[in-house]
Structure 1
Amino acid sequence: MPSAGRSTMTTTPEPMVTGSAPPTVHAAERRLHPMSWLFVLLAQLRQFVVPLVALLVFGRGDRNELWPLIGVGVLVLAAVWQYFTFRYGVAGDALLVRKGLLERSVRVIPFARIHNVALQQSLLHRLFGVAEVRLESAGGKKPEAEMRVLKLDDALALEQLVRHRGQASAVDEVGAPSTPAVPEATTLLQLPLGEVVRHGLVSNRGLIVVGAGVAGLSQISPRLLPNLFERWGEVLFGYAGSHDFGIAGYALAAASLAVLAVALLRLLSVLLSLLQYYGFTLRESGRRLTVERGLLARWRTSASRRRIQAWTLYEGLTHRLLRRRSLHVDTAVAEEQQQQRALRELAPIATPQACDRLIAHLLPKADWAGQAWRPIPVHNWWRLFLPGMPWILVVGGVAGWRFGAWGLLAVPWLAWSAYAARQHARRAAYAVNDQLVAVRGGWWSRWWRFAEIDKLQAVSLSVSPLDRRCGTATLWLDTAGATPMGPSLRIRFLPTDEARALHDTLAATLSRRPLRW
């Protein structure tokens, strides 16, 4: 994707018009790309693809089956209508978006409110030289504006305009006399092809895709997969029986199939990583970060550094074998687009040293490398083991009742769970300084979760009945933009006095400092 320097969009903003009349947009207001109706139509038809294909393939030629095509025609007219009635322009320190002709709407979006600019290019977008643009804010369920689609040069120019005007608005808020100079973009991280392949090896995206495929096939035909496995089993066991395989032969065949399945899943994960992370580049321009990635489809998203709410370092078992880590962040953007288009990955995969350098560069006052970690009391390990013990006993009892001696496998399973719980407790720790609060955990898969104290939304102390019995408490630290899939920013099993002292210290610090988004 070309850099923002290619932009050709020029605007001369006029002052915002107050009063009841709608704001005046600059005369050089712009339309969408002439082929935008096609992309709007394809997006609307996406949910009707399966019924339409079924109609065309399995239809019996009855004229009544053609009635749904009238709906397609209506969608075509609506897409063309949007092209002719959609306008956007600049007025003062805001972007104005006009929609409709008979029923008109004018949306005024201050540049300072726009927290994230996301550009997306599918393969079809790249063929037409266009891009889809979404302007997102910290709150709300939907983007502030969605432009489907703009010329690529106009999309990049709009991104640059939002970035520069947003910086100017932020400077004006603190009383600066003029607009800041445009900083040069510097590359903080770039993933070569080998790193993208490593990312595929450490991820489980292939398993997710296979699971989704199995679920989809089960919806089409519930007996399709069982019949397939039964037929496959008949062929394998028939082949094994004809060659007089013994127990060792069956075990070797099963192990070979398992290795083959794992290899195919990893290969699929590598292919998915190439599609999504090829050419991954993290750049910094002033206080704004921009990520660009993708092989066929290209994603380009940017957000201000001050919108980063929390950080997560992750290191799985395969990561450690390859001496790599992943660095993710939570940003305050529209919830609907957090998972796909928000700036969430600063380093999908990188060396521990590279991750530490990124943290030190973006959080220079936090002293991440010099954190003094305070361990959680190890004698609470049994509380990590306790929740899973009833399930192991139930499964072992059912297995013993149904399969006899196989139920005894619950005994080593219990021993392993207790050992794993103790290892988790030994690694659990937290760290607090004037700028940062951090928590670490995990054993085979390790993680570090941390946030600037200024970004904390709430600090709460909870004491369960078991906590009161053990003289402990849990400290919860809430931030904006947190995902439920990641580790929580909480400190568990602290002695009550220590937890209350830490709670009071953090609460007092937050009360003295203004909340930053």
Structure 2
Amino acid sequence: MTPDAAPPPLPAATQPERRLHPMSWLFVLLQQLKQFIVPLIALVVFGSGDRDELWPLIGVAVLVVTSLWQYFTYRYGVSGDSLVVRSGLLERSVRVIPFARIHNVALQQSVLHRVFGVAEVRLESAGGKKPEAQMRVLKLEDALALEALVRRRGTAASDAGEVREADTLLALSPLEVLKVGLISNRGLIVIGAGVAGVSQFSPRVLPNFFEAFGTRVLGFAGEHHFGPADYAIAALSLLALGLVLLRLLSVLLALLQYFGFRLSEHERRLTVERGLLARWRTSASRRRIQAWTLREGLIHRLLKRRSLEVDTAVAEEQNQQRALREIAPVATPARCDELIEHLLPKAAWTQLQWQALPTSAWWRLLLPEIVPTLLAAGFATWRFGAWGLLALLWLPWSAWRARQRIRRAAYGVNASVVAVREGWWSRHWRFAEIDKLQALQLTRSPIDRRCGTATLWMDTSGAGAMAPPLRIRFLPEAEAQALYAALSRTLAKQALRW
């Protein structure tokens, strides 16, 4: 995909309806085969008799007919300020989608898509569990033209106006992509998914593997008369090897997902393009961004980098990648601040005044770890004797860590944004524009009432499951009430902006 290329514009007025790409039925068929591949394999493997063996072929034939039917009955076109999608023949469906309702345009190209020069287009809005329209597939030129049309109509720009080239805000070199892999733990996610898949296929595969591996290792150690020190060195070596392999897998996944990463801006619309073999191209209006998350882990600090993510007002479909989430998978702290200042010029991010939380609340961060530690120490003592009491050493470490976390915890509020800073070992900054807040809630737990404190929760649209909550904890009650009242007055005067 070439984001700077000027795609052929679609007519502004009502235009003749268009079909999908002639090979779209093949991609629909492949998608359906992915869903039914397990039942089809089961019929082939466990079927008995010639008649049963025909059922997989019949099933594939039905899927082929369904795919061709969708191609011949699917149409789309432009009518005024709306996109019109027609589908079905016996049971007809007409969907009229105003351009103002489309919040995100996502283009995806797998390796097979790139071979045929096509792309899958997904138009998403802030409402509903599914995309407003999903076109599988369009010719790449038509997909880019549709994206350009949505961008122009969504910003109320004149179709006859001059097309300005997109401005590149951030581009990652291959070296920076490697740093993404070193920072992330995506390899662990893939291994977890693989273990779950193998367990579903056969619950005894992994136990048998580890049993055989353990027998061989212990047999080797017994033959060479390993002592305690040798066992410790071998265990540490295996652990180090596992961590290295896990990090290499994360680097490989980062190359596949983020190679050629480019963040660009065109008429207040952000576009991200990335991917080595498969390519993703997503775009969303800046005003659709609801909240921001700035992350900094231990490896981030060693590499002098941070990550910047956003929440957009787009419903997230199950097992679907977030439309526009990572503004900067990795960048220097100064570059992240520059991006925030550019995209939120009124926030005065670098001049934000931070208010520290009471440091006396450190013990409340320690509370959740006391009971599990005592239980673990009790079990270890019952199993290994007095050596199990060493597990109690976790409590001093947890107490020291809680003190470090509370010292860094703070919040900041000005006329435009509200921000929260938390974490120590792994840090994050969570912030949002005040006029994007949808709800305020002041809560007090029994401990809060005992300590005279409260927690202020702030909700926005489109918050992801992995995003930290936007909340201010351990505030003195009077300060929390005053902040709640001030934000409520500000929200009452301003209209909610999506």
1:9 and 1:153 in contact (8 A); partners too: no
Q: Which residue of 1 aligns with 2:418?
A: 437
Question: Any residues of structure 2 matched to 1:80-95 within 5 Å, and which?
Answer: 80-95=68-83
Query: 1-side partners of 2:309 and 2:258: how far apart?
Result: 14
Partner of 1:119: 107
Note the alpha carbon deviations across 1:449-489, whole angstroms, 9 max, x for none.
00011111111111122111100010001110012322110
Q: Deviations over 1:123-175 (max 9, x none)?
A: 1111111000011111111111110000000000000011111111xx7xxxx
8 Å contact kept, 1:4–1:160: no
Which residue does the alignment assign to 2:229? 248
Instruction: Give the 3 Å change call, closer, same or farther, for CA 429–314 of structure 1 in structure 2.
Output: same
1:165 to 153, 160, 165: 153
Q: Structure 2 vs 1, CA of residues 178 and 84 (structure 1 numbering), >3 Å: closer, same or farther? A: closer
> Which of 274, 277, 302 pairs up with 2:255?
274
Map 1:27-426 to 2 at 5 A: 28-56=16-44, 62-168=50-156, 181-336=162-317, 340-426=321-407
**1:24-83 CA deviation, whole Å, 9 max, x = no partner?**
xx2x22100001001111111211122323444565554213224322211211110111
One-letter amino acid of the structure 2 residue matched with residue 507 of structure 1: S
* TM-score normalized with structure 1 length: 0.93
> 1-side partners of 2:475 and 2:197: how far apart?
46
| Aligned equivalent of 1:13 | 13
Give the stretch that moved more between structures: 369-378 or 220-229. Answer: 220-229
RMSD of aligned C-alpha atoms?
1.7
Opposite residue 482 of structure 1, the aligned amino acid is A
Distance, in Å, in 2 between the alignment partners of 1:267 and 1:202 is 11
TM-score, with normalisation over the residues of structure 2?
Answer: 0.97
**2-side partners of 1:212 and 1:479: how far apart?**
31
Deviates more, 1:56-65 or 1:238-247: 56-65
The question of whether the paired residues in 1 share the 8 Å contact of 2:44 and 2:56 is answered with no
Q: How many residues align?
A: 498
Shift of 1:241: 2.2
For 2:3, give the aligned amino acid: S
The DSSP-based 3-state class of the residue aligned with 1:292 is: strand
For 1:230 and 1:412, locate their aligned partners in 2 and report how far apart those are by CA, in whole Å: 32
What is the CA-CA distance between 1:341 and the residue it aligns to? 4.0
User: Secondary structure of 1:335's partner?
Assistant: coil
How far, CA to CA, are the matches of 1:334 and 1:447 in structure 2? 24
Counterpart-to-counterpart distance in 2, 1:452 and 1:154: 36
Determine the C-alpha separation between the residues in 2 that align with 1:341 and 1:484.
11
SS at match of 2:155: helix
Question: How far apart, CA to CA, are the structure 2 residues paired with 1:429 and 1:281?
Answer: 33
Q: 1:449, 1:339 → 2: CA distance?
A: 23
Give yes or no for contact 2:453–2:475 (8 Å, CA) kept in 1. yes
Shift of 1:3: 2.8
Partners of 1:373 and 1:191 in 2: how far apart? 31
Q: In 1, Cα distance between the equivalents of 2:164 and 2:70?
A: 36
| 1:293–1:300 contact (8 Å) kept in structure 2 | yes
Unaligned ranges ≥5, structure 2: none
Which residue type is aligned with residue 285 of structure 1? H
8 A Cα contact 1:118 1:341, kept in partner: no
Distance 2:184 2:284 in 1: 25
Q: What is the rounded CA distance, in whole Å, between the counterparts of 1:345 and 1:337 in structure 2? A: 18
Question: Paired residue for 2:472?
Answer: 491
Is the 2:12–2:159 Cα contact (8 Å) retained in structure 1?
Answer: no
Question: Contact 2:10–2:146 at 8 Å: present in 1 too?
Answer: no
Q: CA deviation at 1:227?
A: 1.6
Conservation of the 8 A alpha-carbon contact between 1:478 and 1:489: yes
Q: 1:245 to 1:306 in 2, by over 3 A?
A: same
One-letter amino acid matched to 1:505: A
Match of 1:506 in 2: 487
Secondary structure, counterpart of 2:5 in structure 1 = helix
Distance 1:239 1:158, change over 3 A: same
> Aligned residue for 1:3?
3
1:136–1:438 distance in 2 versus 1, CA, 3 Å = same
* Matched-pair contact (CA < 8 Å) for 1:218–1:225: yes
Q: Give the aligned partner of residue 18 of structure 1.
A: none
Q: Distance in 1 between matches of 2:194 and 2:305?
A: 30
Q: Alpha-carbon deviation of 1:515?
A: 0.8
